[in-house]
Copies of this chain bind each other. A is one copy, B any other.
Amino acid sequence: MNALYLVIVCGLLSIVYGVWAIRSVMASDAGNARMQEISGYVREGAQAYLRRQYTTIGAVGVVIFVVVGFLLGWPVAAGFAIGAILSAVAGFIGMNVSVRANVRTAAAAMQSLAGGLDIAFKAGAVTGMLVAGLALLGVAVYYAILTGPMGHAPTDRVVVDALVALGFGASLISIFARLGGGIFTKGADVGGDLVGKVEAGIPEDDPRNPATIADNVGDNVGDCAGMAADLFETYAVTVVATMVLAAIFFAGQDVVASTMLYPLAICGICIVTSIIGTFFVRLGANNSIMGALYKGLWATTLFSALGVGAATSLTVGWGPIGAVNAAGLQVTGWNLFFCGILGLAVTGAIVWITEYYTGIGFRPVRSISQASVTGHGTNVIQGLAVSLESTALPTIVIVIGIVATYQLAGLFGTAIAVTTMLGLAGMIVALDAFGPVTDNAGGIAEMAGLPKEVRHTTDALDAVGNTTKAVTKGYAIGSAGLGALVLFAAYNSDLQYFVTRANEAGATEYQYFKGVTPDFALTNPYVVVGLLLGGLIPFLFGGIAMTAVGRAAGSIVEEVRAQFRAKPGIMKGTEKPDYGRAVDILTKAAIREMIVPSLLPVLAPIVIFFGVEAIAGRSQAFSAVGAMLLGVIVTGLFVAISMTSGGGAWDNAKKSFEDGFVDASGQKHFKGSDAHKASVTGDTVGDPYKDTAGPAVNPAIKITNIVALLLLAVLAHGG
Contact = CB atoms under 8 A, between A and B. Distances in A.
A539 B616 contact: no
A529 interface: yes
A35 interface: no
Contacts of A543: 384-392
A331 to B, nearest CB: 15
Interface in A348-403: 367, 371, 374-378, 380-382, 384-392, 395-396, 398-399, 402-403
Interface stretch (A2-10, A222-230, A406-414): A406-414
A382 B627 CA distance: 31
A616 B193 CA distance: 53
A148 interface: no
A489 interface: yes
Contact of A384 (B388, B546, B627): B546
Contacts of A485: 525, 528
A128 interface: no
Q: Which of A194, A388, A390, A489 has the most CB of B within 10 A?
A: A388
Contacts of A386: 543
A12 interface: no
A190 interface: yes
A257 interface: no
A522 interface: yes
Interface string A505-548: 00000000000000011110111110111011001101110110
Contacts of A557: 374
A631 interface: yes
B536 A377 contact: no
A615 B527 contact: no
Contact of A525 (B384, B411, B527): B411
Nearest to A525: B406
Contacts of A375: 194, 198, 681, 684
A40 B547 CA distance: 46
Contact of A521 (B520, B544, B550): B520
A630 interface: yes
Given A377-B685, A543-B387, A522 B532 contact: no
User: How many of these chains are in the complex?
Assistant: 2
A17 to B, nearest CB: 37
Q: Which of A380, A522, A531, A532 has the most CB of B within 10 A?
A: A522
A689 B382 CA distance: 11
B378 A380 contact: no
A232 interface: no
A402 B371 contact: no
A414 B528 CA distance: 13
Interface in A602-654: 615-616, 626-627, 630-631, 634-635, 637-638, 642
Given A194-B375, A377-B684, A684-B377, A522 B382 contact: no
A375 B539 CA distance: 24
Nearest to A548: B385
B630 A522 contact: yes
A147 interface: no
A377 B522 contact: no
B688 A381 contact: yes
B522 A626 contact: yes
Given A389-B547, A520-B522, A525-B411, A685 B536 contact: no
Q: Which of A381, A384, A414, A616 has the most CB of B within 10 A?
A: A381
B615 A407 contact: yes
Nearest to A489: B523
B528 A630 contact: yes
Q: Which of A521, A523, A540, A547 has the most CB of B within 10 A?
A: A523
A411 to B, nearest CB: 7
Contacts of A262: none
A553 interface: yes
Given A540-B392, A557-B374, A681-B377, A689 B523 contact: no
B377 A535 contact: no
A492 interface: yes
Contacts of A58: none
A549 interface: yes
Contact of A380 (B380, B525, B693): B380
A615 to B, nearest CB: 6
Contacts of A378: 190, 194, 550, 553-554, 684
B380 A529 contact: no
Contacts of A681: 375-377, 380, 681
A557 to B, nearest CB: 6
A388 B557 CA distance: 24
A657 interface: no
24 contacts: A376-B681, A377-B684, A377-B685, A381-B549, A382-B550, A384-B546, A384-B689, A385-B544, A385-B546, A388-B543, A389-B540, A389-B547, A392-B536, A395-B533, A407-B615, A407-B616, A411-B525, A488-B528, A521-B521, A522-B626, A528-B630, A535-B634, A631-B634, A681-B681
Q: What 4 pairs between A and B have smallest CB-CB spacing?
A: A377-B684, A388-B543, A389-B543, A385-B546
Given A384-B685, A407-B616, 16 more contacts: A190-B377, A194-B375, A367-B547, A371-B550, A374-B554, A375-B681, A377-B680, A377-B683, A384-B546, A385-B544, A389-B543, A399-B532, A522-B527, A535-B634, A536-B638, A635-B638
